[in-house]
């Protein structure tokens, strides 16, 4: 079997830091539990763009509009190219929801019956293509292609693909029209009424039980999305038959396609304001001039708070604005927690601590912690390393530290017993706010126990001196106060606890004990 390409090996490395630079492909295969092969047949009317779409995925073919119009790629993919071209086989590898997949694409002729029967055999998913500028090809999806697919592949999932999505935007473009005229005086000019809308595409997909995506080989829009989600559908179907295969458990349902082109028409200033709001919740620099642009961006992003804020530009209702901003912050924090901490998406650095690994994101660490900013931004090995050894810290403490950086809150895993390593780490990384939040949390826990009449002698003596060493002064003072109040009882029943303290502490407590010595 052919080895996975380098980009995949890099992904393994990120997921498994034990994989060292010199490891061979065979080693990778040992680490890597299962590999799935997915056969995807591509059908549809002639000239809708099947072969171009396949080439965009398999050969990484980027073409300009004149090149595209001037050349023709013959439909050669009807035979299994993956056995002939090593490069093509290499590019067939992809990782979808953690599953290693070799995607085998089968091209077909839009007007050649025999060939397709052969191609449909043992397929895992079918791409049914039409051109969004050809109502005829769209109509045939239902009247001709769907029944043919079901005849040969009764249960195979179908992805309906609206090809040549770029024509939605360029069909009236002078340069495009000129190129078409140059190519042939008989080329039919596209009318707006020819264009199949997304809604029509989705509706047909619903009718035939398929998922709908659009793609353009010219802009590369949707090319990755189409194949990624086709693989998802194939793997989900496979999971239903092989429910015991562990590696398929995390495959998710196909993901909705994002409609980005609206952004193309926005001014850079309004996109800047929009991004600024996403990152900071701040809308103060917005002016009336960019209000309309921003409304477009807002409708696209569907953020309730931003919509209200944009409509309120110019009005002076500060309380309402602050309440909306706070609401946005809350959601932002909860999303950061979900996406970055729980799902660990887009991780780009791994910390190797004493008893495990912690996954993180450089940009967030740098934004929230000056020491991290210096470490990643400076001329150090860490600025480029994917794996950073971080000795002297437990995974539990480091995870609580990360939780604070991403959410500005204290993780519920913080307890009185494990607070010291967190305080020590916060002090090491110069994070006084983290120290204060830990102190507050621990004092609340200690106070609750004290209110229940539970003795805290053991805990406060364990906490006092380490807190003094690591600049947790509030907690240290709380412990001193507790000992001072309980001094008589402690000196009678556990005098050893006091004797173990530093002489300065012993002297201070003895001097301040309450009630004072008679």
Which residues contact ligand GTP (rule: CB under 6 A)? 46-52, 68-69, 72-73, 75, 109-110, 163-164, 166-167, 216-218
Q: Which of 75, 219, 474, 510 binds Mg ion (CB under 5 A)?
A: 75
H, E, C per residue of 81-137? HHHCCHHHHHHCEEEECCEEEEEEEECCCCCCHHHHHHHHCCCCEEEEEEECCCHHH
Least separation in angstroms between CB 72 and ligand GTP: 5
The alpha-carbon radius of gyration of the chain (Å, integer) is 31
Closest CA to 474 of 511, 450, 499, 446: 446
Q: In angstroms, what is the minimal distance from the CB of 259 to Mg ion?
A: 27
Half-sphere exposure of 73 (CA within 13 A, CB side): 20
Picked from ligand GTP, Mg ion, none, the partner binding residue 151 (CB below 5 to 8 A depending on kind) is none
- Tokens, residue 46: 């002639």
Residue 480 contacts which entry, Mg ion, ligand GTP, none (Cβ below 5-8 A, type-dependent): none
As a whole number of angstroms, the distance between CA 4 and CA 34 comes to: 12
Which of Mg ion, ligand GTP, none sits in contact with 49, Cβ below 5 to 8 A by type?
Answer: ligand GTP
Spatial separation of the C-alpha atoms in residues 133 and 146, rounded to whole Å? 20
Shortest Å distance, C-beta 203 to ligand GTP: 22
With CB under 5 to 8 Å by kind, the binding choice for 217 among ligand GTP, Mg ion, none is ligand GTP
Residue 143 structure tokens: 């009247």
Please say which residue, 57 or 470, places its beta carbon nearer to ligand GTP.
57
Supply the minimum distance, in Å, between the C-beta of residue 105 and ligand GTP.
Answer: 12
Q: Which two tokens stand for residue 168?
A: 């939605």
Q: Tokens representing 164?
A: 């040549």
51 near Mg ion, judged by CB under 5 A: yes
Residue 226 interface partner, choices ligand GTP, Mg ion, none, CB cut-off 5-8 Å depending on type: none
Residue with tokens 């998922």, as numbered in its chain: 211
Stretch that binds Mg ion, among 43-51, 79-87, 369-377, 454-462 (CB under 5 A): 43-51
In the bound complex, what is the minimum distance in angstroms from residue 51's beta carbon to Mg ion?
3
Residues 6+ apart with CB under 8 A from 513: 484, 487, 488
Task: Work out how close the CB of 49 gets to ligand GTP at its nearest, in angstroms, rounded to a whole number.
Answer: 3
Q: Which is nearer to ligand GTP, 218 or 425 (CB)?
A: 218
Q: How many residues bind Mg ion (CB under 5 A)?
A: 3
Sign, CA torsion 233/237/240/241:
negative
Is 225 a binding residue for Mg ion by CB under 5 A? The answer is: no
- Cis peptide preceding 282, ω within 30 of 0: no
Q: Which is nearer to ligand GTP, 128 or 167 (CB)?
A: 167
Is residue 15 a contact partner of residue 349, using CB atoms and an 8 Å limit?
no
Least Å distance between CB 171 and ligand GTP? 9
- Pick 75 or 436: Cβ nearer Mg ion: 75
Question: Which residue's CB is nearer to Mg ion, number 50 or number 321?
Answer: 50
Q: Is residue 247 a contact residue for Mg ion (CB under 5 A)?
A: no
Residues with Cβ within 8 Å of 23's Cβ and at least 6 positions away in sequence, in order, are none
**Minimum distance from residue 183 beta carbon to Mg ion (Å):** 18
Q: Which is nearer to Mg ion, 50 or 403 (CB)?
A: 50
Binding at 48: pick from ligand GTP, Mg ion, none (beta carbon under 5-8 Å per type):
ligand GTP
User: Could you tell which of ligand GTP, Mg ion, none binds residue 218, using a CB distance below 5 to 8 A set by kind?
Assistant: ligand GTP
Nearer to ligand GTP, 144 or 337 (CB): 144
For residue 254, give Cα distances in angstroms to 146, 205, 228, 432. Answer: 20, 13, 8, 44
- State which residue, 230 or 365, has the beta carbon closest to ligand GTP: 230
- Cα–Cα distance, 138 to 161 (Å, whole number): 10
Among residues 404, 378, 401, the alpha carbon closest in space to that of 390 is found at: 401
Nearer to Mg ion among residue 75 and residue 200 (C-beta): 75
| Distance, CA of 25 to CA of 3 (rounded, Å) | 6
Shortest distance (Å) from residue 77 CB to Mg ion: 8
- How far apart are alpha carbons 92 and 38 in whole angstroms? 10
CB nearer to Mg ion: give 77 or 277: 77
As a whole number of angstroms, the distance between CA 18 and CA 13 comes to: 7
Q: Shortest Cβ distance from residue 119 to ligand GTP (Å)?
A: 12
Binding site for Mg ion (CB under 5 A): 50-51, 75
């Amino acid at each position: 079997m052919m080895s996975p390409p380098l980009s995949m090996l890099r992904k393994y490395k990120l997921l498994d830091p034990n994989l060292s630079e010199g490891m061979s492909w065979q080693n990778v295969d040992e680490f890597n539990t299962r590999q799935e092969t997915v056969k995807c047949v591509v059908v549809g009317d002639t000239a809708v763009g099947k072969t171009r779409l396949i080439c965009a995925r398999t050969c990484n073919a980027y073409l300009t509009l004149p090149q595209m119009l001037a050349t023709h790629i013959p439909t050669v993919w009807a035979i299994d190219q993956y056995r002939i071209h090593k490069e093509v086989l290499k590019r067939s590898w992809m990782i979808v929801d953690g599953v290693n997949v070799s995607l085998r694409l089968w091209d077909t002729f839009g007007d050649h019956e025999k060939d397709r029967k052969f191609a449909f055999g043992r397929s895992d998913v079918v791409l049914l293509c039409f051109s969004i500028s050809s109502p005829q090809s769209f109509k045939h999806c239902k009247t001709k292609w769907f029944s043919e697919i079901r005849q040969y592949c009764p249960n195979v999932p179908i992805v309906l693909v609206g090809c040549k999505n770029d024509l939605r935007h360029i069909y009236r473009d002078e340069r495009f029209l000129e190129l078409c005229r140059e190519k042939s005086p008989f080329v039919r000019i596209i009318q707006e009424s020819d264009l199949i809308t997304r809604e029509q595409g989705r509706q047909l997909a619903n009718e035939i039980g398929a998922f709908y995506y659009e793609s353009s080989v010219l802009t590369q829009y949707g090319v990755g999305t189409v194949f990624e989600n086709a693989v998802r559908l194939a793997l989900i179907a496979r999971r239903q038959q092989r429910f015991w295969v562990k590696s398929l458990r995390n495959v998710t349902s196909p993901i909705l396609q994002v409609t980005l082109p609206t952004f193309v028409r926005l001014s850079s200033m309004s996109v800047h304001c929009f991004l600024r709001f996403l990152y900071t919740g701040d809308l103060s620099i917005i002016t009336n001039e960019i209000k309309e642009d921003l409304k477009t961006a807002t409708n696209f992003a569907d953020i309730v708070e931003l919509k209200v804020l944009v409509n309120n530009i110019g009005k002076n209702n500060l309380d309402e604005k602050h309440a909306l901003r706070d609401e946005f912050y809350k959601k932002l924090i909860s999303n950061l927690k979900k996406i970055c901490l729980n799902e660990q998406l887009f991780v780009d650095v791994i910390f190797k601590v004493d008893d495990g690994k912690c996954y993180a994101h450089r940009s967030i660490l740098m934004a929230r912690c000056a020491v991290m900013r210096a470490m990643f931004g400076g001329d150090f090995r860490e600025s480029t390393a994917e794996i950073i050894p971080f000795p002297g810290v437990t995974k539990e403490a480091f995870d609580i530290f990360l939780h604070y950086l991403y959410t500005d809150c204290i993780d519920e895993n913080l307890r009185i017993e494990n607070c010291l390593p967190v305080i020590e780490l916060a002090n090491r990384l110069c994070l006084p706010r983290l120290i204060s939040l830990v102190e507050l949390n621990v004092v609340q826990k200690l106070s609750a126990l004290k209110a229940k009449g539970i003795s805290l002698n053991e805990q406060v003596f364990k906490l006092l001196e380490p807190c003094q060493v690591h600049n947790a002064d509030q907690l240290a003072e709380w412990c001193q106060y507790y000992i001072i109040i309980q001094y008589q009882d402690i000196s009678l029943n556990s005098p050893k606890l006091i004797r173990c303290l530093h002489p300065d502490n012993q002297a201070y407590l003895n001097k301040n004990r309450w009630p004072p010595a008679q």
